[in-house]
Amino acid sequence: MATFVEQVREMGIKQAIVTKADDVVERLTAGMNINDVRAALRGDEPRRPNPRLRPHADGFWLHIRPSFYHTGVTNIYPTFRLGWLSTFMLVWETITGLILMVFYTPSPLSAYGNMWNILGNVPLGQLFRNMHRLGAEVMVLVVALHMLRTFVTGSYKKPRQFTWATGMLLLVFTIFLSFSGYLLPWDQLAYWALTVFISGGAAAPAPAFVNENIMLILQGGPALGADGLLRWYLLHVLLLPLLAGIFFFVHYYKVVLYGISLPPGREQVGEDTAKRVPKDERTYYIPDILTSELMWSALATLFLVAGALWLWDAPLETHADPVVTPLHVVAPWYLSWSQGWLKLADKTLVVGFIPLLLVAFIVMPYIEVGKSRRYADRRVGLTVAMLFIAAMLVSNWMGSPEFRVQSSPDREVSIQVLPEEGPGGIKGIPYEHLTPGTYSPGQVIDGNPFLTRGLELFQSAMYQQSCTLTGNPQWTACTVETLDNGTRRFSNFFTTDAMPDPVAHLEIVEVQPNLKELILHYEITNPDTGAVSKTEWTRPRHAFSNYEEECRFLNKSCATD
């Protein structure tokens, strides 16, 4: 071939540049020159031999993609684009995760501080954290839906059993990826969710020394600490993405090998025609599938960015504290079902059952060998699936915050109004507005809107946790229930364990310059025995603690607004 200089001499500078550009484009696309690309974008018929097949044969990026699909699988039904979306989410999480890694060190000394830096200091830091966390939750949802649709359309049947099995592994990796990222912010939510999860792993039906070592290996020590955080970080950023990546390619290789299964009604029972595509039923990857995938990428990006910007903020609690478990810790929503199961059965039974369920799912296509993929022929299978989904939804609901563990009603009020750690409620009132004195719930303080707002919060918390037997109009009416042992239990619309006719107040004391103590006093008289129980709850408030700002940062409801 002539050199560029020779071409310039031969055809002039303009024509030489055009020829060179054509050449470069053909090399980059592994086979399509400028005219071919433009023809593809215009939607013209390809020339013969078809240059649009060459990127699949000669190029790296498209060699794993089929050069054409059966037109029957290119509509929304039957795939709903869920497999593609799962892959998109994996890439999305990798990119946003890599960016977050730049500002993160896996050490208990710095991890939580890194979160605050990312949220408040790094340009677009909060957006990236929100996108990563939202993406993680969406990915779990998308992968689960992908599994559901594969089941419903019978696509797990011969010859795609192994594809289904690798898909099950990918579901497990997805959940573990999402959950392992949970610990990294090193906040209370993270710490206790992981502690419960690891203790669950150590409740396996195995000899005691095995369980002890499972616990030690997962925690990196007798309790979660620096070593544990490092281990979960490495799992999250290295081992799990690697496994997910490898098995993604195993999975996708099988998808390409067998083709995407047609809608069940489109082929004869027992036939698999996905790989025998008539000429007039072909939709070529270039340009139709490629441009459609670009559109879906744009839509998914739009949804995730908009969600992370305007609709949802990733939660962050106070710094992890290994000696205090906060009230109302719950599992992430995609593991709520296990929380529900723990209420029904012994932990060893639950922990032993989950891997059995997983194995059952993996081997299911090899046991359920009915030939027909049509819905009408699979009534039993589809019914079992729907019952399973219903059971999972009920389990999820049982594990939801609706059924969270209640403490005593006075403790519930205290936690809401004056949290044990971090900002919230009355703690958010600016220091100078905490005038020493004794106040009752709902009291209006002239010229002090902050304290008035705080006492309003106190009042509404009390309202939910108390009930009236004597007609005190401040509280809700009591429901009285006599237990088996003859004692009476008082409840109201909000709670099963309410304080009957409580007397409560807030005391603010200046204990030394720049330090006040906030004390909640409760006095509850048992109407049956006449016994009076007095409890109190004290939290300090220092003039320099920056609760006003923390309230905004951690999205807490504070008496500042």
What are the residues binding another protein (CB under 8 A)? Answer: 192, 195-196, 198-200, 203, 213, 216-217, 219-223, 227, 322-329, 339, 342-343, 346-348, 405-411, 483-485, 487, 522, 524, 533, 535
To another protein, the closest distance from the beta carbon of 75 in angstroms equals 46
SS3 102: coil
Q: What would the DSSP string read from start to end of 324-382? A: -PPTT----GGGHHHHHHHHHS-HHHHHHHHHHHHHHHHHHHHH---S---GGG-HHHH
Rounded Cα gap, residues 314 and 62, in angstroms: 36
Residue 181 in contact with residue 163, Cβ under 8 Å? no
Q: Is 327 or 392 the residue whose CB approaches another protein more closely? A: 327
The least distance separating another protein from the CB of residue 329, rounded to whole angstroms, comes to 6
| Residue nearer to another protein on the CB measure, 94 or 199 | 199
Secondary structure (3-state) at 61: coil
> Position of tokens 């020394």?
209
Nearer to another protein, 34 or 216 (CB): 216
Distance CA 462, CA 454 (A): 12
Question: Is the bond preceding residue 78 a cis peptide, omega within 30 degrees?
Answer: yes
Judged by beta carbon, residue 464 or residue 560, the one nearer another protein is: 464
Q: How far is the CB of 531 from another protein (least distance, A)?
A: 9
Instruction: Tell me the residue type at 265.
Output: G
Phi and psi angles of residue 506, each rounded to the nearest 5 degrees, phi first: -110, 130
User: Closest approach of Cβ 354 to another protein, in Å?
Assistant: 14
Handedness of CA 279, 281, 282, 287 (dihedral sign): positive
Does residue 274 come out as left (phi exceeding 0), alpha (psi in the -120 to 50 range) or beta?
Answer: alpha
Residues 433 and 235: their CA atoms lie apart, in Å, by 48
Nearest approach, Cβ of residue 182 and another protein (Å): 15
Residue closer to another protein by CB (options 409, 422) is 409
In degrees, rounded to 5, the angle at the alpha carbon of residue 201 between the alpha carbons of residues 196 and 202 is 95
Residue 89 sits at the vertex; the CA angle it makes with 86 and 94, to the nearest 5 degrees, is: 135
Compute the least distance from the CB of residue 224 to another protein, in Å: 9
- Least Å distance, CB 7 to another protein, is 57
At 531, the amino acid letter reads A
Mapping DSSP onto H, E and C, the string for 3-34 reads CHHHHHHHHCHHHHHHHHHHHHHHHHCCCCCH
Angle between helices 208-219 and 226-234 (to 10 degrees): 80
Residue 482 vs 512, nearer CB to another protein:
482
CB of 242 to another protein, least distance (A): 16
- Cα gap 350→352, rounded to integer Å: 5
Nearer to another protein, 429 or 462 (CB): 462
Q: Cβ of residue 383: shortest distance to another protein, in angstroms?
A: 32
For another protein, which is the closer residue by CB, 321 or 456? 321
- Closest to another protein by CB, 126 or 465: 465
* Shortest Cβ 421–another protein spacing (Å): 13
d(CA 347, CA 349): 5
Closest separation in Å from C-beta 285 to another protein: 40
* Residue number, 58 or 227, with CB nearest to another protein: 227
Distances (CA, A) of 33 to 2, 54, 480, 490: 18, 11, 83, 81
